[in-house]
Amino acid sequence: MSLERDAPETEKADPLDAYRQFFALERDVLVLSAAMFAFSLGFQMTSRYMAEYMYALGASAFVVGLFGTVGNVISAVYPYPGGAISDRIGSRYALTAFGLCSTIGFGIWLAVPLFADVSVGATSLAVVAIFVGLFFSQAWKSFGLGATFAIVKQAVPPSQLAAGFASTETFRRTAFLVGPLLAAALFYPFGSSDADVRVAFQLILLVAVIFGVVGTIVQHVLYEAEEDSIGTEFEGLSQVAADLRAMPDELRPLLVGDTLVRFANGMVYVFFVIVVTRFLEVGLTLSLPAAGILELSPQSYFGVLLGIEMLVALLTMIPVAKAAERIGLKPVVALGFFVYAIFPILLINAPTESAGALTLAVLFAFSGLRFAGLPAHKALIVGPAEQGAGGRVTGTYYLLRNLIVIPSAALGGLLWGGFSNPLSGRELFAGSPTLAFSIATVVGLIGTAYFLLFGEEFEAYA
């Protein structure tokens, strides 16, 4: 431990190091960073608009919520076999396979309007194809989660963990800023009708496919695999059970609070775009001296709002990570939890009159603060782990949290749209968007309060 604390200044975590390495064109950093940017941009462009796409194809609120729940299942299940595959065949071929799968997923989503007129029960084959595409598109996104945590833990001193994670988060989330703004530009020439939404989103998907193809080719051709090691086979469920038992006690209050907050967010996250485009129906009209009147549809303005959210995240992530070194990780993580919790109730009650566009811009800027706490959150997860066990602790933590969060989106869909007796058709529960978002905020605030009361600080930051 003393060796880590006494690390020379040049070895300390630098939140801007990811950019410096990229622009220095170091081969391995260039290849992996380019792939990360390409797939993060493609997935962020598409996933945040998927509910709008599904509504335009005739899906119900419950089906949209079910889509979110299936996404939660994939997020929970993929990391373990993904890591095992990588260990068995090496990083180069694993990256290529996962990248190819994600590109195929974007392609399936691009083709779904061709099946819109084919009925499958109460829905269409197009909606079914969206679920199929989801299993492919999330492949690359799930790669190497535990390994990333372990590498950062080994590379920086304990008191610098938050800054080290800020370095990786800053670079990845740059794509999260560019993607929605590009989507907003592609939506700009179109109106708000379902037909316009389908056409505009297909253009977005075409861009995602192009980025996926380029990212896959670049990482396969340029990635140097000489350092790849081929590991042992996954030991099965007994390994998962052992990792759960070995989880540090300090993580349990964090896990409980985090799970409640993420469950609350999962109830409504997929519906954010629907609130802006179909519930509030808020666009943006600006009078520009040189360009005249600029009118953004609600769909286009939603991309701008996501850009504002991510810009605030990028601007605050590094300063907040540095602040955590002085005030501790716990207050910073609690702030992120609070923003997660309170945002749904603020969004659903936003005004729709002339002040609506400005109010939404302020709200999404506020939402960006939840990302500012992520580096501190990751440091608090991996900090108590023994050296060399960071990947297992991280994988176990996220596996357990994501498994519990799985039904959240489907529950949110039921609260949003209500449900009827499948035999008689009589309405059993009249849901509403306001109800769904209000319950989400209550659950999130309970999780935040629990963490404030029982959460523990990582000793390197105490």
DSSP-H helix ranges across 48-187: 50-56, 61-77, 79-89, 91-111, 125-137, 145-155, 161-187
Cα-to-chain-centroid distance, residue 67: 15
pLDDT tens digits, residue range 159-183?
655 555 555 566 677 888 899 999 9
| C-alpha distances out from residue 194 to 61, 101, 207, 303, Å | 16, 28, 20, 17
Q: Which amino acid is at 453?
A: L
pLDDT of 413 reads 95
**At 80, which CATH number?**
1.20.1250.20
Collapsed DSSP state (helix, strand, coil) of residue 421: coil
Name the helix (H) or strand (E) containing 322. helix 298-327
User: Is residue 4 domain-resident?
Assistant: no
DSSP-derived letter for residue 278 is: I
User: Is residue 8 domain-resident?
Assistant: no
Looking from the CA of 311 toward its CB, the CA atoms found within 13 Å total 13
- Which structure tokens are listed for 298? 């609600």
Percent of the chain scoring above 70 in pLDDT: 72
Q: What span, in angstroms and rounded, lies between the C-alpha atoms of 254 and 259?
A: 8
| C-alpha distances out from residue 306 to 45, 119, 278, 282, 459, Å | 10, 34, 17, 14, 35
Domain, as residue range, for 118: 15-222+237-461
Q: Which of these ranges, 97-106, 148-157, 218-227, has the smallest mean pLDDT? A: 148-157
Please count the structural domains in the chain.
Answer: 1
pLDDT of 456 reads 78
Nearest residue to 96 via CA among 57, 130, 63, 143? 143
Between residues 96 and 24, which one has the greater pLDDT? 96
User: Is residue 5 domain-resident?
Assistant: no
Counting beta carbons within 10 angstroms of the beta carbon of residue 403, is it exposed (0 to 12), middle (13 to 18) or buried (19 or more)? middle
pLDDT of 327 reads 85
Asked whether 381 and 393 are in contact (CB, 8 A), the reply is yes
User: Is residue 1 domain-resident?
Assistant: no
Nearest residue to 206 via CA among 186, 190, 230, 231? 186
User: Is residue 311 domain-resident?
Assistant: yes
- Which structure tokens are listed for 397? 């933590």
Alpha-carbon torsion (273, 277, 280, 282), positive or negative: positive
- Which structure tokens are listed for 119? 């009925």
Looking from the CA of 337 toward its CB, the CA atoms found within 13 Å total 29
User: Is residue 10 domain-resident?
Assistant: no
User: Is residue 7 domain-resident?
Assistant: no
pLDDT at 383 over 80: no
pLDDT tens digits, residue range 310-364?
999 888 877 887 888 788 888 989 999 999 999 999 999 998 876 789 999 999 9
Whole-prediction pTM: 0.83
Average pLDDT over residues 1-30: 46
User: Is residue 310 domain-resident?
Assistant: yes
